[in-house]
Amino acid sequence: MRRGGFYAGLIAAGVLLAGVGLVAVAIRPSVRSTAAAFLAPLPAAPSLSRDAGLAPLPVEPLVLGAESPELLALRSGDAGAPPTRAPRRAVFAADPGAPKSFRRPDGLRRTPLAERDDASLDAPLAFVERDERGHGALVGALKRSGRCREEVVRILRAWKIPEDLAAVVFTESAFAPAAASTDGGAGLWGMSGDVAAAYGLVTLPSFDERRSVSVSTEGAAHYLSDLRERLGSWELALYAFGAGYAPALADLQTHAQATFWTLAPELPRERALYVTEVLAVATVLGNVDRFGFGDVRAEAPLATSDLEVPAGASFSTVARASGTTAARLHELNPEYLGETVPTTGFAMVMHLPSAGLARAKEMLMPLLYATPGSGLSRGGPPVATPDAAAAPATLAASAMRSHKGRFFYKIQEDDTLDSVAARFKQDKQTIALDNALDPSAGLEPGQLLTIRPQGEGDSNRPTP
């Protein structure tokens, strides 16, 4: 059986060679004969040495995930300005450079973002711990962060983004919502105009949602989530966040699939440094005591409530209604860039000090209707007055129609809840309920009440 198999193999080899010869004749009959094809020497194997002058084998492209419509708009340039930006690096205003005899404290809590304790974090860690500029900038950022850090973290959690990525806000703006930079970035996240446009943020000369804590964080979280899905890791998502999506994609598509850490030596230094700086801040935030920031006390969270305000309302009028100052309102509403509420085509909401919300609800509309130049004093809802022949002038001046069809009534001397209810033909308990009053308590002169109409027509007008 073995000898038969041997002969069968020889026959098969002969048939195979004959077939090769026939194929050679069929392919190139005009070049060489069948015999020449068999007798010609085999071509030499190509040399793989550098002297051969051969181009290197192409590198496998980075395997990318799904590309969202927002990222597609950024890549194609449909979202607005070209997506090229340099990181602001508010905390790292200077290049951290090489660390000088820096040794990390033992037993640090590592950020879950980094795959390893890379030595490239040493320079930014040393900068924020030892350099006066970096240390001071991070102290200020830690203090300011108390105002709205809870809101930022809440939104990141909702998007299933590591809380450590709040370090981006420290790095970009040092937690100053009104921050702006020469590269076009603005707000807590240093968001560029093209990213804002792609993710639906409004950016007008008078109103810029990149400066809104909640709206900008929602946009940034969506963007980071898309980058993570597309590029495969949070480190590469950070790289694209700092460099801009289109430039980062151009950097990464020429490399084999790899982690940020293996690619970092081949990437532009400024862009790679951004990632290590953010991760360094995240490391410090997770170990504040170990890096000398344990004594920094964050400011108290802002206690604010929201109120819809009409276009044309001035900050001074809203401030007067809510018992605060225009400067304080600008601090709470950095997205408003002017002194009046702009017309945008959608409802405009302001953050007010929570203590002044009830007062603002009572006083804002009467003040706006009575303020010349407010845009509401002309052509607004009519002032509701009793019949001129029947009512005293003081009563006529104290009742005004609200924007929801109700009356605002300013309490006069000797007014009681019973007398007001009788004048407006309204139920006493209803007035008390609408104004959060104790029906048995007295009324203060100058107090503003809202009175709902009893019915259609003039039956809701006060009587003397």
Q: Is there a domain that residue 205 lies in? A: yes
On the CB side of 374, CA atoms within 13 Å amount to 22
Both 333 and 251 in one domain: the answer is no
Query: What is the average pLDDT across 381-399?
Result: 35
Structure tokens at 449: 């009440």
The residue range of the domain holding 415 is 393-451
* CA separation for the pair 447, 436 (Å, rounded): 13
Q: Is there a domain that residue 15 lies in? A: no
Residue 164: DSSP 8-state: G
Query: What is the average pLDDT across 394-409?
Result: 44
pLDDT band, residue 207 (cuts 50/70/90): very high
Q: Check residue 322 and give its pLDDT.
A: 94
Decide if 364 contacts 321 (C-beta within 8 A): yes
Both 349 and 407 in one domain: the answer is no
Decide if 399 contacts 384 (C-beta within 8 A): yes
Query: What are phi and psi for residue 83, nearest 5 degrees?
Result: -80, 65
Residue that is written with structure tokens 């970009």 in the block: 172
What would the pLDDT profile of 139-188 be if each residue is shown by its tens digit? Answer: 999 999 999 999 999 999 999 999 999 999 999 999 999 988 877 889 99
Residue 338: DSSP 8-state: S
Considering only residues 393 and 218, tell me which one the structure prediction assigns the higher pLDDT: 218
Q: In sequence order, which residues have a C-beta less than 8 Å from that of residue 378 and are 6 or more positions away?
A: none
Instruction: Name the domain count of the chain.
Output: 3
Query: What is the average pLDDT across 179-199?
Result: 89
Both 252 and 170 in one domain: the answer is yes
Q: Is there a domain that residue 262 lies in? A: yes
Q: Check residue 167 and give its pLDDT.
A: 95
- Please say if the pLDDT value at position 58 is more than 50: no
* CA separation for the pair 88, 175 (Å, rounded): 13
Decide if 188 contacts 197 (C-beta within 8 A): no
Nearest to 185 by CA among 294, 429, 174, 34: 174
Query: What is the average pLDDT across 192-216?
Result: 93
**β strands within 338-428, DSSP E:** 348-353, 399-401, 407-410
What would the pLDDT profile of 431-442 be if each residue is shown by its tens digit? Answer: 888 777 777 778
pLDDT band, residue 358 (cuts 50/70/90): very high
- The kind and range of the H/E element at 193 are helix 193-198
Q: Is there a domain that residue 113 lies in? A: no
Other Cβ atoms less than 10 A from the Cβ of 206: the count is 14
- Please say if the pLDDT value at position 236 is more than 70: yes
User: Which DSSP string do the residues of 368-387 spell out, in sequence order?
Assistant: HHHSTTSSSSSSSSPPP---
- Please say if the pLDDT value at position 304 is more than 50: yes
- The enclosing domain of 95 has a CATH number of 1.10.530.10
Q: Check residue 79 and give its pLDDT.
A: 59
Angle (nearest 5°) at CA 163 between 259 and 220: 80
- The enclosing domain of 406 has a CATH number of 3.10.350.10
